[in-house]
Amino acid sequence: MMLQVASDPLMKVENLVVEYSVGGKTIHAVSDVSLEIARGETLGLVGESGCGKSTLGRAVLQLRQAVSGKVLFDGHDLTTLKGEALRQMRRRVQLIFQDPIASLNPRRRIGDIVAEPLVIAGVKDPEERKRRVSEVLSAVGLDPVLVSGRLPHEFSGGQCQRICIARSLVLNPEFVICDEPVSALDVSIRAQILNLLEEMKARYGLTLLFIAHDLAVVKAVSDRVAVMYLGRLCEVAPSEQLFARPAHPYTALLIEAIPVPDPDVRPTQSVPVGEPPSPIAPPSGCRFRTRCPRADARCASEVPELRVVAPGQYAACHHPLV
């Protein structure tokens, strides 16, 4: 399976498999996923809850151990690194979580929270740390003098997410994984944070993996989008192309289900009933077949591989829409 986007991708995930054991049963969270992310690119990763998108993000960072597969960051396989070597690599890869308030230690001051990665990285000079903290806090739109001495509970959700973003940037990472960074925020605040992420990406030359369940949010920031369903990739395509001409029936279903803020657009009634099956016993063949209007016998017997359906567009479907 080829998913080449650049001759020298910054992040390359190869045939990654992640499984959990719960009560003696195996949950197939990520099954044979391959992805490439070019330097300076934002790859959006969408899917519904339980599809494995967050697990994939964590496995990339080695916060979850993969059963098999490789995670190549700048040519180094993170799955084989240990101890100090892994710690060195992790400095270059950071993670932003969904719940900004829960991500901050309620008993520590903002200045210390943002400086913590520097302490762990061994930046000994307090003046140097202070300088770096001030710089990133200013970058995310907070006044370092006003906020450094305060505690997380004094801030709103949106401000806490700014603080989390500042903390993720303080070590000058190259790659940031954003796991549902705006889903806990109100509409008016969400737009501020999305704009901020775009600004930070440009200012610090970041490469982003942007995980979210909201397709409109993903489209707003992503160059390419990957769609996941029950642990497998369904489709990968440039953003505009994915939304204009989805190839996988699941992608089409997701796009159709988005409520549009326009009273003239009548909500479609064509969304099939049914819910995603359990990742403990995923369906044979194509995992989406149990909800798919196009499914036939072949879909039950043969796992569809990701293949090119249009330039730059890949779909794992025996009966693609394009």
Partner 1 sequence: MSGALLSVENVMVDLPTPRGNLRAVDHVDLAVGAGRTLGIVGESGCGKTMLSRAILQLLPKKAKLSGRVMFDGQDLTGLSAEKLRKLRGRSLAVVFQDPMTSLNPVLTIGTQLIETIQEHLELDLAQARQRSIELLAAVGIPAPEQRLAQYPHQLSGGMRQRVAIAVALSCEPQLLIADEPTTALDVTIQAQILDLLAREQQRRHMAMIIITHDLGVVAGRTDEVAVMYAGRVVERAPTPALFKRMRMPYTEALLAALPKLDVAPHTPLPAISGRPPDPTRPLKGCSFSPRCRYSAGRCTTEKPQLSPAETQEHVYACFHPIAAGAGA
Binding residues (CB under 8 A) for partner 1: these are 48-49, 156, 158, 186-192, 194-195, 198, 213-217, 219-223, 239-240, 243, 253-269, 271, 273, 275-276
Nearer to partner 1, 16 or 247 (CB): 247
* Least Å from the CB of residue 288 to partner 1: 11
Q: How far is the CB of 125 from partner 1 (least distance, A)?
A: 35
Strand partners, 207: 175
Residue 99 Cβ, how far from partner 1 at the closest point, in Å?
14
Q: What are phi and psi for residue 308, nearest 5 degrees?
A: -70, 130
Least gap, CB of 68 to partner 1 (angstroms): 28
Sheet holding 11-22, edge to edge: 25-37, 11-22, 68-73, 76-77
Q: How many CA atoms lie within 13 A of 45 on its CB side?
A: 28
Q: How far is the CB of 268 from partner 1 (least distance, A)?
A: 8
The distance of closest approach from Cβ of residue 186 to partner 1 in the complex, given in angstroms and rounded to an integer, is 4
Position 193, amino acid? I
Contact between residue 253 and residue 268 where contact means Cβ atoms under 8 Å apart: no
Per the CB < 8 A criterion, the answer to whether 152 and 113 are in contact is yes
In terms of Cα–Cα distance, which of 228, 221, 238 is closest to 178? 221
Q: Which C-beta is closer to partner 1: that of 83 or that of 269? A: 269
Q: 117 or 158: whose CB is closer to partner 1? A: 158
Residue number with CB closer to partner 1 (78 or 160): 160
Q: Which position has the token pair 């959990």? A: 20
Give the residue from 295, 316, 298, 297 showing the smallest Cα distance to 247: 316
Tracing tokens 């657009």 back to the chain, one arrives at: 265
Residue whose CB is less far from partner 1, 128 or 186 = 186
CA dist., res. 133 & res. 146, Å (int):
13
- Cα 54–chain centre separation: 7
Which residue, 51 or 299, has its beta carbon nearer to partner 1?
Answer: 51
* 2 or 273: CB nearest partner 1: 273
For the chain, the distance separating the N- and C-terminal CA atoms, rounded to the nearest angstrom, is: 19
* Interatomic CA distance for residues 322 and 313, integer angstroms: 10
